[in-house]
Structure 1
């Protein structure tokens, strides 16, 4: 009887050892995921919730087994919410580390320099990986850049980061502004920067364009910036045609061909280089500029010089068959 008892005890210990081995081995062995899996863990999810999601996605064989192993063999650190990439064949241990590490899959939404707020709104609303509604943001309040977001994130949260970035950048740049900037307030800096942004695509020209407009403002000359004619017509979207004479003569709060000084608000969301140009303009006596036919502009101090530059520009356009 004693011998039989020892055999039964040995068998029991062997079974327990095998179960223990399988329990531990199941923690580190390759998982069943046949390919890379994207897993979305909603905000407020528990480890139990995540285990169920992992089972449904095919990343683990058993939700209960994963949960039990995680509790006994895991670090105990809370899991994060977000979208995660689970590699092919990831073990239970690897998966828990991924969920605890919080390294979520990054998605980007890009706002180009000079994009008007109506197009920022349309871009965010068209992104079906974001949720919730937003209003059209205040013009000039968004800093153009690429912003990471999580799938299912609120559009308002992403827009909030864009606007916070502009607020932070403008505060820093305003504190470091040059004494010769014509902008009297941060808002004036954004208004003028939005015009500079629309007038030239060349970063190296922006301080010069800002210098020209600064000279015009100091001498009470009209800015006569074409983009300010277009803004009240399209809210900053491309006009798609040539500007009409009636639109050049239109009197409103934006048309700088019919008013002296700055328009009442920005006409786009300027990038950091345009803001920097306005707050650190190039020293110049120039009052005029016109396209040079090569993607840039040629500047002039006098109206006579400007007229000659305009004549050359029209010759270039005639040679191209544009007139």
Structure 2
């Protein structure tokens, strides 16, 4: 039994360095991004994360156009593009009759089309797939250090602003009435969203980066109402999805990034059915009340 477990679970990571690198990068990303996803979900901004994930594409593509597959250039470009879209969408929403979700949708569609066009001008279809879907199995030392730094910064920042962030998520009007920390907390939180999407972009690509944020958060919400447990469970689900997804990719010769997100999606569907607040529990509860 142990030999089988070793061959299926331990051997891929013990024998291949690229699998160990992918494991470290994906788990670090999950531990930081999943708690961010929890607060996006609580603030009803789940689709904002998706919009911002697409928004970083043209900046990363410009970095690619200038310097090729250069991590510093693509990271800097992605950060600038993400911040620009976040600020621009808010400014347009305040200056026009359009709501912020509408402006974000418009910005992210333009960003996605522009980014794909820029990459296509210089690169091949392989380069385009690399940008859109990531290359978690090809993470180098520089990428790992960047992802680890983003994860560390995120966890420390979340710990520092946790209480006002909870208040700002639940009752922003009350937070503004008792102090002036609401706007800074919102800006810090959005900066963390962009940073984690850039980290996710390096490993999972622009189309899948938001999956590591939202799917573990949505799964955890179906199991608990306690916020502290929700954050911890989301991070655990994200890390577990990374491990299982990489093993599935190794044994079944599947693309690693999509495999990780598929595992997270499978856990979400399972939680939706059998979770403490899932469909089965709701049906049993209705039957109990009817009886």
> Under a length normalisation based on structure 2, what TM-score does the superposition of the two structures give?
0.25
TM-score (norm 1): 0.23
More helix by share: 2
Q: Which structure has greater strand proportion?
A: 1
Q: Which has the larger radius of gyration?
A: 1
Whose relative contact order is higher, 1 or 2, with alpha carbons under 8 Å and at least 6 apart?
2
